[in-house]
Structure 1
Amino acid sequence: HALTRILLDRGEIPLDIFGKHIWARNPEMTIKMVTDNAERLVNVMKTWGDDWQEATERFQKALPDFGKRFVEELEAKPEEFSVLCHGDCWTNNMLFKGDDLENPTSVKFLDLQISAVSTPARDLHYFLTTSVRLEVRKKYKNQLLQEYVNTLNSYTSRLQYEGSVPDIDYIKEDLRKKGIFPLELCVSIIQLVTGDTQDLADLEDVIKAAAEAEKSGKQVDTKSWDLSKVMNPNTVSIIKDVVTDAVESGTI
């Protein structure tokens, strides 16, 4: 993030390639898939009992604009601190080095297919939601964010960056403003990362079929990508935590 902030200022990151997230390049299809999956999650939430009635109703009311809000927030606004985000920032796309698996000495990022310019919140939400155990995130989230800020400041200083660098309050507010991101993860990647997906259709096939249907004017069918069917207890626990945060922050 530190290096890409500098390269963006220099105009050395081609915005015709990285300026718009892949999900924002075909907004109609993305909105359709995200909204359909969100509706399925809401239907699952209706089975969680009376304690979840308010959250379910609030999510239900948010559905008409949910996909559109997600697509709009993918692109950083001019006044926001933007970087080149990895876009698929979870541990399966990280290569760790070290003799001791518990204490790696370095890490490299893999799979840069959906990298795009956005705010740090995109990668931070993605990583914290998909790759940090729930109990660890709940206990150490502020500490992890502070470490991110410290490292960002350290590298921008070493690279002699002269612009403004976010402090912890800015990052927390950025995460709050982009609260739609972890909620969208709950209707997509979280269910893939934690669920039982052996019988699920391949995402690339689903996207290809949806694009072909859209071109021919046919109804886009997303039923083969019904992620609500793959959820397990761990999936549900993570989703409940994210939904609770979304209610408390006013995201829904």
Structure 2
Amino acid sequence: MEFSAEAVWRHLPAGHKPPVYYYEELGSTNIEARRLAREGAPHGTAVLAERQTAGRGRLGRSFFSPGGAGVYLSMVLRPGLSAADTALVTPAAAVATARAISRAAGVEVGVKWVNDLYYAGKKLCGILAEAPLGADGRPEFVVIGIGVNVLDASFPPELSGVATSLEAAGAGETDRAALAAAIIAEMLALCGGLGERTFLAEYRARSCVLDRTVTLVRGEERREAYAVGIDDDARLLVRMPDGSSEAIGAGEISLRGDFA
């Protein structure tokens, strides 16, 4: 099936047809989206690559991006949020992408706080948001990068036990252009009401970490806790072994044992 800017454009619904750029190869779609944003690219502008040679994840990690095996997409967003509310973009992108995967591939996924989509205990999609701040302390724009593993590519040894794909999840042949268009449309639809936080109900419902023991990871520090909820700022609410409670707004978590 064709994967190109034109193919994605054809699948976009009326009213949600932003500029779409497609490249056979990029170092990182996020870097290209940031360049376009600084040149004035409008809200919703999308950057797609057939492959990335330097795909990036959170905390400086790389994102495996082989040619023809995934949807590697970044969007320029100008949602007009405060610096504090910009943290809502990542969980909103998780919900938008989960909806798009359900619609385009028929696969239901869970969300591992704060930004990964999982299927059967393995990572299917990674999300990375970047928001340069202006002189007034508000984001100039937000770039949201989304990488979905579509085909069951030959993952490198360090990923083979932790990563999965839509193909492995039983999706059959997924139209990558239709999936990319669905992600763009769902993201634009959610962006119109981020401040209302209505999407957080679905974010909580899709969570695969609530009511589980987790390890809070920040730098070299590791702490065990029990995940009890997600608040209206998308912070993870945890109960510590001593009975105290904390709201975690940054860092990452790992889970004990298998999870769905």
**TM-score normalised to the size of structure 1?**
0.25
**TM-score normalised to the size of structure 2?**
0.24
More strand by share: 2
Higher RCO (CA 8 Å, separation ≥ 6 residues): 1
| Structure of higher CA gyration radius | 1
